[in-house]
Structure 1
Amino acid sequence: MKPVQPCQGGKMARKLQKMTALMAVLLLSLFLGACSKSSDSTGESTTTYNRVHSSKTITWGMRADTRLFSMMDVKTGKAKGFEVDLARAITKQILGPSGKMKIEYISEKSRIMDLKIGNVDAVMATMTDTADREKIINFSDTYFMAGETLIVPKKSKLKSIKAFNNSKYSIAAVKGSTADADVHKYAPKAKVIFYDDYGSAYNAFKAGKTNAMVSDNAVLAGLIADDSDKFTMLDTTFTVEPYGIGIKKGETKFTKEVNQALAILRKNGTYQRLMKKWFAGVPGFNIKESSKTTVSDK
């Protein structure tokens, strides 16, 4: 039998010391990571709620290209529209008169990621509350009930979504929307061409690069407001699009607070005043229908 070398015991001890130290570091990092996530007594995340109340500011993710909802005013350099005014009212309702509203301009493609990484506290950007999106973010109660439809040239003979069921017809849409699946449900042969934003899609349609443009009725109404002599919106919608305010997944406390603010604004008349301010007199637009909170509302 070979004698045991003294150095082997020393090496083993040093290995054990290194392994013990490594395990301690890993456990400490896990502990600190868990502690960094704020939560209340129910275990729900309160990170957004705490940030909003400590800073007295709500950072909203909004569009800069959606007329009637959130459109950049080239003269002032600031966005204006229904969503801008509603976000301001919600901010004041939650934080009081001294509460501040900050806007970060986002795109259709980036809005959910901006929420996830904390660039914004909430997104109000004509975003439809869908089952798939509810898996990855929270939604507030519905603040606007829209429906998808098409705009076409006034001289067009295509008067329904089903009329586009031919591969020779193309429809402009915005990236990040649900337009592709929605159109192909009724016109599977139609070609949907995606553009980065509403302006690009509308310009392509106006230039004759597509036969129509698809989006929500209220968005399209804003786009053709100055071109109503050239383009028209179809009379019927083929989807129901309930708009909700997007909030980071798990931020239940802040979501409840936003819902409470919305309910108060509906009750005290602020919501209806803003609806009339921005949509009264818009051709093809029905304020009563768009004010619904559920599809079954009377």
Structure 2
Amino acid sequence: MASANVLLSLHLLLLLEGSLSATFNIINNCDYTVWPGILSGAGTGQLQTTGFALPRGASQPVDIPSSWSGRLWGRTSCSSDPAGDNFTCATGDCGTSRLECSGSGAAPPATLAEFTLDGSGGLDFYDVSLVDGYNLPMLVVPKGGSGGNCTSTGCLVDLNPACPSDLRVVRSGRSVACRSACEAFGSAEYCCSGQYGNPDTCRPSQYSQFFKNACPRAYSYAYDDSTSTFTCAGADYDITFCPDTTSQKSGQDGNSTAVPLPLVNNTMVFLGGDEVSSSASSAVLPSVSVSRIMLLATSWLLIRLLFA
């Protein structure tokens, strides 16, 4: 009888844990195939899939266990030999020579979606980070959650054409990614290490401001927490590469990928010389053309000359 009660308790526990899990619906709205990679954090088991191909217009649900933490990113311009070996990617490569990342992370630069599910207070903590650089636009949208600050976050802009020349990653004459200043120069000031390893001494640089101005809700440097970390409870998440910001396109499950991305509360953001003010978190971040990003890059260069 006691053993039966133990089995029943274990069964109920498994059911409870299952109810705390989430589904990541990964959507590719790019004009090309993206190969998502997934890395579980320390002390968290690897998922059943850690890498796969996602063709243009496709979506793929991934079941996530409760209390999971880790990161997800998109790999681009990937190829392998006819046998499927020697798999490599121009950006976001995880170095395994295979489609699966199998516990290896993204080689920077790469746009990262980071999660800690069922954390403090039962909340999910999530962000989109450009601290390790940028390779493609990404949007994270919580679905069906409550509590916390359940809001969309990400970087909607293609930064590669406007990336500063000393951060740019070029393949076949084309800019395919934008490095962080830490990776490009390795200095403690940009890496927030050594004497700069705290929020009082590590401050935004002209390089991190380039990312922040274009993507105000994404992490731009290591201590950018106040405007870049969001919380929600009991949500599933749509994670979209190259999100559509001009029309209501839908993924295969019928969910819209064109969700408004709010600006930072009570701030003013400059996008290509246009002043956009926000007095509420429901303000919509407008789509930004390449020409406006180029103006932003020009402004960045002028700032750099002033501080040289």
Instruction: Identify whether the pair has TM-score above 0.5, normalized to the shorter chain.
Output: no
What's the TM-score once normalised by structure 1's chain length?
A: 0.25
Flag the structure with more relative contact order, 1 or 2, with Cα contacts below 8 A and sequence separation at least 6.
Answer: 1
TM (norm. structure 2) is 0.25
User: Larger C-alpha radius of gyration, 1 or 2?
Assistant: 1
**Higher strand fraction (1 or 2):** 2
